[in-house]
Homo-oligomer: A and B are copies of this chain.
Amino acid sequence: MGRQRSRTVTLTDVARLAGVSVATASKALNARDEVAPETRRRVLEAAEELRFQPSVLARGLQTGRTRTIGLLTDELAHRFSIPILLGVENALANGQMSVLLCDARGDAIRRQHYIRTLIARQVDGFVVLGDSNDVRPSLTPQIPVPVVYVYGESDDPRDVSVLADDEHGSRLATEHLVSLGRRQIAHVTGPQSYRAARDRATSLRVVLASAGLALAGGAPLYGEWSQRWGRTAAKMLLAANPDIDAISCGNDQIAAGVAAAVRELGRRVPDDVSIVGYDNWHEFAADCQPPLTTVDLNLQQIGEIAVKHLFAALDGQPSSGVVRQPSRLIVRDSTGPRLSPARTSTD
């Protein structure tokens, strides 16, 4: 480890090799146009030859800009955190920024500690990644640099929050079911305490109402985000209401459980009962039997857009309010037309 520790090459080395002062070398490398073309060429050549990498520390100390962003997450272990984080990291790298990662793990003390740490490291801005899409208290008052909230909405409207659009996603899914001729549509979802569950259910009912339909079973079945709950709920639903011809699920795990139970009860998916999931969690949705039609939240784009807003703020153009990223319907085999003949399956 660290076997060939070579002295790092410094701007002074470059200047010496190019035969100029460090001041001139600095200007040449930073493309300030007070430098003669020939001089610039020599400096760039020297830098290239020495594989010069300017010290981000020294530059940061001088300019106050560290080209570093603090990414403060509530709970990195959550499934949706990673795609968002990838989007953030991607967009930052394009802007030559690096990201300091801090995961508070739902602990307020730890979060406070990390906020101080990131400030001490003089990050240029913060990305605050929520652990649910519920509204959360703004952290901005304690943070002296621009902040953008992702996935979870800040309770201060002066902040900017980049969010998934559950109204839109649920509408896509529901319209899809309606357009397939489904008329007895039930809804199985997670705990009512989650904004995601409530928003998706509300949007579903709005779309059904505008199609002249009522929610099968009367009310959404709130439960938990698990296959187990999906299995239980599907059995309850089909026992109470055998005419159900579609089940919209609050996430893909629930949908996988629903699909298993529906098949176990001898109904065909999608012919007898069509099923839609939510989230497009690949291992559950694409690998389900049958593969699930579902809603993709475009999480990576959410992360990228958040960074765009942060960059704008760093350039003195802060934004505020809520930005919603549209969702995308992914159609697979768990949904199909209502009155189709039994399909000649090649499954």
Task: Please tell me if A144 contacts chain B, counting CB pairs below 8 Å.
Answer: yes
Which residue of B53, B82, B113, B283 is within 8 Å of A253 (Cβ)?
Answer: B283
- Give chain B residues whose Cβ lies under 8 Å from the Cβ of A1: 140, 146-148, 158-160, 313, 318, 320
Instruction: Mark out the residues of chain A between 208 and 230 whose CB falls within 8 Å of any chain B CB in the assembled complex.
Output: 226-228
- Give chain B residues whose Cβ lies under 8 Å from the Cβ of A68: 100
Q: How large is the interface on A (under 10, 10 to 19, 20 to 34, 35 or more residues)?
A: 35 or more
**A100 vs B99: C-alpha distance when bound (angstroms):** 6
**A8 vs B61: C-alpha distance when bound (angstroms):** 13
Question: Which of A35-43, A118-126, A162-170, A198-206 lines the interface with chain B?
Answer: A118-126
What residue in chain B is nearest A300 (Cβ atoms)?
B77
Task: Please tell me if A344 contacts chain B, counting CB pairs below 8 Å.
Answer: no
- Give chain B residues whose Cβ lies under 8 Å from the Cβ of A141: 3-4
Task: Please tell me if A179 contacts chain B, counting CB pairs below 8 Å.
Answer: no
Task: Please tell me if A54 contacts chain B, counting CB pairs below 8 Å.
Answer: yes
**A82 vs B86: C-alpha distance when bound (angstroms):** 12
What residue in chain B is nearest A98 (Cβ atoms)?
B100
**A85 vs B102: C-alpha distance when bound (angstroms):** 11
Instruction: Mark out the residues of chain A between 278 and 321 whose CB falls within 8 Å of any chain B CB in the assembled complex.
Output: 283-284, 287-289, 313, 318, 320
Known A8-B144, A86-B103, A228-B287; judge A116-B53 contact (CB<8 A): yes
Task: Please tell me if A2 contacts chain B, counting CB pairs below 8 Å.
Answer: yes
**Is there contact, CB below 8 Å, between A2 and B82?**
no
**A117 vs B92: C-alpha distance when bound (angstroms):** 13
Known A2-B146, A58-B61, A289-B231; judge A82-B77 contact (CB<8 A): yes
Residues of A within 8 A of B (CB): 1-6, 8, 53-58, 60-61, 66, 68, 71, 76-77, 82-83, 85-86, 89, 93, 98-103, 105, 110, 113-114, 116-122, 140-141, 143-148, 158-160, 226-228, 231, 253, 260, 283-284, 287-289, 313, 318, 320
